Structure 1
Amino acid sequence: MRKKALLALEDGRVFQGTAFGHDGTTTGEVCFNTSMTGYQEILTDPSYRGQIVTMTYPQIGNYGITAEDSESAQPHVRGFVVGELCDVPSSWRSTQSLSDYLAEHKVLGIDDIDTRALTKHLRSAGAMRSCLTTELSEEEAVKAAQASDSMLGADFVKEVTTDKTYHWDGESRPWTIPSVSQSIEGNYLPLSEAKYKIVAYDFGIKRNILRRLRQEGFDVTVVPATTSASDVLAMSPDGVFLSNGPGDPASLDYVHKEVRELIGRTPLFGICLGHQLLTHACGGKTYKLKFGHRGGNQPVQDLRTGKVEITAQNHGFATDGENLPPDTEVTHINLNDQTVEGTRSTKDPVFSVQHHPEAAPGPNDSKEFFVDFAKMIEGSR
């Protein structure tokens, strides 16, 4: 028999359900993700550090857990909320059930709650602090949520960044289902030659970003978030990549300073938090969204061409397009709410996107940004 559990929000709303994974009590900002698949990638995305994630798709766990699909070495969510848990996964790649995986990593899960009602409440009231527990009463859990830390001003980057510099040599070959005419090793296609030497700042980098960079011909050295610009430039890179990551970008002033020193001295490409950090480095500002963009169905328009792409996103903060300097242009917007989704410098080889062109999970409409980075490097040589 599984224990009873409850999710309490700071505004007093409480949802009753059933526990799975680990038992106990946890707090964090509760948010929702609209992806239909990819729960393992979401769980292991370091950008979710400090958050309790709700999946809007009704049944989760159907295909179990596969080690090679993880975006980092462990889950980073504080808790996991689903409508219905599938206890018996069905996939030839599965090695573990979702519940067993969360239990192994001591992550609390809850199901049998109305995730539609929760999502509608968060859309109306906004993402907020919450408490997920198998131990506390409703009143105690609401108080625990109210006493927990806010995402505003939070620096979770120091918790998720690498503690030492390393060279990325993980499996990066594109995975495929071979046809009768193909002769390949296992389910992998060969990699192209590595032409460009780059340094990637790890603010909570996803493995699929590293895979996509390698697939597009980048030889990647990953450095901690606290690495100085002078140390990066001493490596003589062809370019520098700024990764995704968790928390409030405005609180990372120690990163703003180093990124500012890199602008104009090497080509720069930022994704998600990396995009927001470039915003601050060039003198702009960011602000907290009401409930964020999280899922694989966000429409983004390229203002230069009019092209619309369906994108994967995971962020609770956004660039303020009204406070960008004259030499930074907005190149992409979100068609749902007109927020900034991409910027580019008009004088230096610098560009960034708020969404995730590497997907995992999500569509691959925006994968060409990695090609654009290679072209930028080639053009600046």
Structure 2
Amino acid sequence: MDTQLPSQPTPILEIAWTRFAQLDAISSKRTKTHLRMRRLIATLGVLATLFAILSQGIPLESGLLGVVVRGLLILLPVLASGFAAYASAFYSNGDWLVSRAGAEEILKEIYAYRTILQNSSNRRAWLEKRLVEIQRSVYRGMNGELTMDAYKGQLPPHYNPENPASDWGFHDITGDEYFRFRLEQQLNWHSDRVVKRQNERKRLQALILISGGVGVFLAAILPLWVALSASFTAAFIGWQELRNLDAVVRNYSKVRMELGILYDHWKSLDESEKTETEFFTMVKSTENILWSQNVEYIKAMQEALKESDLDEEAGLINRVIKEARESDERLKQSMEDAVVDFTRERLGESEETLTETFVTALNSLAEEASSDLVQAELAAMQKSIMEHFGGLKSTLAEIAEEFAGVEIGSNTPPAVLNSLLTRYPKTQDPKG
């Protein structure tokens, strides 16, 4: 049977639930903020790569659009680096994991107080001591900076009066109540969560494969855009490593199995078999399983934080942009080389064609020169020249013989000079 609810909460339980609520609230808030920060950094990285590619095709002289693209290209990496530096400074130590561990440990002790220790006269002092130890442990885990807002919500924080399976939190509970409030609730939560994490893991794996395949396709047709595909792949892989889904799915699966075994055992008992020993055994086993799961989860998340380097993630943005520009330069250079090679090849072909044409023309001339008609014309020309120069030679010889005794000088009579000049052969060349 269910126990009668007391009219007033027990002070020590009220304190314990308040401390749990504080740690639970700060852990949830910091976890959500950290994940939003990481999503933002990854998104800025992809956008920076996109605008780096667009800037190669949109010159600065194109007007307002070119100025906007260049401005975003400068602004986005700066913002990504700034957010990465902020996250490294305020979220790299995983303090929300410490507060989560503290909250879960307090919750474990609250249920021990309300079940196993319900007949102990020293349970108030025991719970008070455990609260002191847990708070000091959390303080040390946060490096002496235990900054938390005062909790002003309802207690317990997740209590719903409309839900019969919701725990009021301030009364001692029976075996059936613990089974319903704690064991069954945690079994349902882990069963639902392991399915969600498995689906998330499948989606990320599919996105990684798709972005990689798109990158291979783009490499063949649009090499410059491969950088954008690579940035998507890097973002998905980084998110997968941060979430550490493989370890989480295994952890939740084990908890679901172990709690399922306890669930089946308690459900199989008759009312007469649900003794105090069975009740306390169920409580100890359930709390040990949940606490072990919590420890393993925190270890897995801490390892994921260590492996996930925000500085490296921010540096990746700049490297991707640099590689995109280098790829564009290589593309331009390859295009220039292709033009030069094409021109050189065509010039070489033109030279060969001209040489062949010239040789053909020379051969044609040589063939024409060796023909009978050309040879006859050349012989006639030679004969005419020889006859012309032969007559000229005989005329000059006659003049020389006729005027052999005449001395040509200033005293030579004009009549003799005129007679000499009239004897020289005449040409057809114009005078002057």
Fold in common (TM above 0.5): no
Higher strand share: 1
The structure with higher relative contact order (CA 8 Å, sep 6+) is 2
TM-score, length of structure 1 as denominator length: 0.19
More helix by share: 2
Q: Highest CA radius of gyration, 1 or 2?
A: 2
Q: TM-score, normalised by structure 2?
A: 0.17
